[in-house]
Structure 1
Amino acid sequence: MKNVDKGTVVRTVLLFMALVNQTLMMFGKPVLPVSEDQINTLADALYTAGSAAFTIMTALMAWYKNNYVTEKGKLQKEALKQKGLAK
């Protein structure tokens, strides 16, 4: 995997983690091993809201950034680099 942008890898990993976490929550399997007796209604709501916010933020970040993951995208990035328009 040469010429892979570090930002692309970080955004992809964060998006994958958020999606796995959200899927686990949908099936009632919280990532943090806490019993139902230990969670009050407010804490449960905050955890759910935080998890949803994390998923939304990483999804938007992954969507917003041009990750250049396709062959066409890689060619675009190279063309931008040659013109001095990209890192």
Structure 2
Amino acid sequence: MKNFDKGTVIRTVLLFMALINQTLILFGKPVLPIEEDQITSLSETLYLAFSMVFTLVTTLVAWFKNNYVTSRGKAQKEVLQQKGLTK
């Protein structure tokens, strides 16, 4: 993993976490160990809304950012860094 950009790894892990969470929600599997009678409709709605927002935000960030994962992408990043065009 030392060859991967730290930001790319973080964005990818968060994206996978969000997608796994949405998949579990889709199949009705509880992500948090809460009994059915403890969940009110408002808290369930808030949880689903937060989960959806989390998934959308992580997806947009992962899509928007440059992820240098291929050898060509890593070479491009090196050229950009040499020319001072990246942080």
TM bracket (short chain): over 0.9
Amino acid at match of 1:29: K
Q: Which 10-residue stretch deviates more, 44-53 or 65-74?
A: 65-74
Aligned length: 87
- Does residue 75 of structure 1 match 2:75? yes
Match of 2:63 in 1: 63
What is the aligned partner in structure 2 of residue 85 from structure 1? 85
Residue number in structure 2 paired with 1:36:
36
| Percent of pairs with identical residues | 69
The two structures have a TM-score, normalised by structure 2, of 0.92
Output the aligned Cα RMSD. 1.0
TM-score after normalising by structure 1: 0.92
Query: 1:13-40: CA deviations, max 9, x gaps?
Result: 1001001111001000121011111101
1:24 counterpart = 2:24 = yes
Query: What amino acid sits opposite 2:58 in the alignment?
Result: T
Give SS of 1:85's match: coil
Helix, strand or coil: the match of 2:22?
helix
Partner SS, residue 78 of structure 2: helix
Conserved 8 A contact 2:4-2:68:
no
Unaligned runs of 5+ in 1: none
Instruction: Identify the structure with bigger relative contact order (alpha carbons < 8 Å, sequence gap 6+).
Output: 2
